[in-house]
Every structure is written in C-alpha cells, then in structure tokens.
C-alpha cells in the first residue's frame, strides 16, 4: 500500500493526500510536479527511475475497510540527501545512459 508521503522530498512543499501535483517513482519517492519538471528533469534522484502522478486514495470508505479513514497518509516527512548540483548531475548522467541507444 502506498505510503502517501506528506511533502516534496526536495523543496518540502506540503503534498496533502489528495494533491494532484504529487509525483512518485516506483520506490514511492515523492516530489512535487514543479521539482520533477524544473529540477529533476523527470529523473528520480534516488533510483534513476521516472515519475507518475501519485494516485489519490479516497478519504471516504466506498468499500468496507478501505479509504484514508482506515489507511491514513503518512505524517513522516522525507528530505532528499542530495544537493541541487548532485541532483542535476545525476539527472544528466541517467538521461545520457537511457537516450544513448
């Protein structure tokens, strides 16, 4: 089940569970759309994968036992360990590998 992290790992912008601007990679690294587009260039700085819009978990339980009432979003904030320069360099490197064929 997705963790639904509460913030962008780079700029620390709040990303509430129903925020359509949240983006995740396959490891659930979470960033805002602005950082994904302008800083990360679509490359996760942690794994090198891409991003998709984070699904919205319904607040209400449309079916018994599901929804944010039963499975709330995480409150633990996560922050990137990489500087802007490291992120940009990594993104360029990964893109050069994936676009060289």
Global confidence as pTM: 0.91
Paired tokens of 42: 């679509």
Q: Half-sphere exposure of residue 65, counting CA atoms within 13 Å on the CB side?
A: 0
Cα gap 3→56, rounded to integer Å: 12
- pLDDT number for residue 98: 80
- pLDDT number for residue 100: 59
Q: What tens-digit pLDDT sequence spans the chain (101 residues)?
A: 899 999 999 999 999 999 999 999 999 999 999 999 999 999 999 999 999 999 999 999 999 999 999 999 999 999 999 999 999 999 999 999 986 55
User: With contact defined as beta carbons under 8 Å apart, do 57 and 68 qualify?
Assistant: yes
Domain ranges of the chain: 22-98
Q: Give 20-61 as a DSSP string.
A: TTEEE-TT--EEEHHHHHHTSTT--TTTS---EEPPPPPSS-
Alpha-carbon 39 to chain mean position: 13
């Amino acid at each position: 089940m997705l963790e639904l992290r509460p913030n962008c790992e780079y700029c620390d912008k709040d990303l509430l569970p129903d925020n359509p601007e949240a983006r995740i990679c396959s490891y659930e690294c979470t960033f805002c759309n602005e950082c994904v587009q302008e800083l990360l260039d679509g490359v996760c700085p942690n794994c090198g994968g891409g991003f998709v819009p984070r699904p919205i978990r319904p607040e209400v339980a449309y079916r018994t036992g599901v929804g944010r009432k039963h499975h709330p979003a995480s409150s633990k904030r996560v922050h990137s360990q990489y500087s802007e320069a490291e992120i940009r360099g990594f993104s360029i490197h990964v893109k050069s590998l994936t676009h060289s064929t």
